[in-house]
Amino acid sequence: MTQEEIRKAFIDKIRNGEIKETGYDCPSGNEYVELLFIQFIVERDYIFPEVPKLDRVKYQWYIDNYDPILEYNDQFNKCIDKLGKNYKTRQAVLMMGDVAEIDENYVICTIYMHIFLDKIDDGTYNMTYIVHMRSNDAIEFGNDIIWHKNLIARIRTALKEKYGYITNTPTIVWDADSFHVYREFFEQIVHD
């Protein structure tokens, strides 16, 4: 699907009354529409142009909560080392989930990122960056993608000495097991 097709699918679900009630584990609202098993190539930093960028989740939240996970067990540097030793590796993965958290009330939304490099004829490299989300608020997507684009810049910088130029516009593939919109935004995105 494209991001525009996803936007339209959400609008159709709202108009058709395909509204679900959340369970005990959702702090963001009690009714929502949901798309399951969504994959798309990121073309823009938002799903809904109708909704102004939110300040609910500040960029600092990602730095405080996600960056320490990248540093845990030195996994960021190990991932870079794998790519530095073999640009064709399929093991350049950054794991965000922790099985120790499964007993807690909150399981992290971003499960992993997978990085691939592809050498092109002129000796430069393209990057494919795959994000796998357990749960993803489509309205907050714009905040999520900012953190991921900054992480991509860090990866490019870390690999520059080894590989030289890596494209400024990597392909970002977004996988969301549950992509959803809460009721508080229905009126903003559905208008006749």
Taking the C-alpha atoms of 133, 138, 142 and 144 in order, what is their torsion angle to the nearest 10 degrees?
A: -20
Q: Is 99 exposed, middle or buried (0-12, 13-18, 19+ CB in 10 A)?
A: exposed
Residue 95's SS3 state is strand
pLDDT tens digits for 103-150? Answer: 666 788 999 999 999 998 888 889 999 999 999 999 999 999 999 999
Taking 70 as the pLDDT cut, the residues of the chain under it are: 23-29, 100-105, 192
Give the global pTM.
0.91
Contact (Cβ atoms closer than 8 angstroms) between residue 101 and residue 107 = yes
Contact (Cβ atoms closer than 8 angstroms) between residue 152 and residue 160 = no
